[in-house]
Amino acid sequence: MQTGIIVQARTGSTRLPNKVVLPFYKERCILDIVLQKLKTLKYPIVIATSNNPNDIEIVKAANRNNVQIFRASEENVLERYIDCAQENNFSNIIRVCADNPFIDTCLIEEIVDESADYSAHFFQDKPSIQTHWGVFAEFVSLDALEKIHSLTKEKTFLEHVTNYIYLNPELFNINKMNPPVLCHVDDIRLTVDTVEDFKLAQTLYKLCVEKNSKFNLSTILENITQEMKIQMAQSISFNQK
Return d(Cα 193, Cα 132) in angstroms, integer. Answer: 10
C-alpha distances in Å from residue 131, one per residue of 110, 120, 211: 18, 12, 27
Q: What is the DSSP string of 178-233?
A: PPPGGGSSS----S--SHHHHHHHHHHHHHHHTT-TT--HHHHHHH--HHHHHHHH
Please name the fold of domain 2-179.
Spore Coat Polysaccharide Biosynthesis Protein SpsA; Chain A (3.90.550)
- Gap between the Cα atoms of 23 and 31, Å rounded: 10
Give the domain ranges of the chain: 2-179
**Could you tell me what percent of the chain has a pLDDT over 90?**
83
Q: Residue 65 gets which letter from DSSP?
A: T
pLDDT interval class at 11 (50, 70, 90): very high
| Residues 110-127, mean pLDDT to the nearest whole number | 95
Q: Mean pLDDT over all residues of the chain? A: 94
pLDDT tens digits along 184-233: 766 788 999 999 999 999 999 999 999 988 899 999 999 998 888 888 87
How many Å apart are CA 118 and CA 132, to the nearest integer? 20
Which residue in 107, 130, 123, 139 sits closest to 218, CA to CA?
107
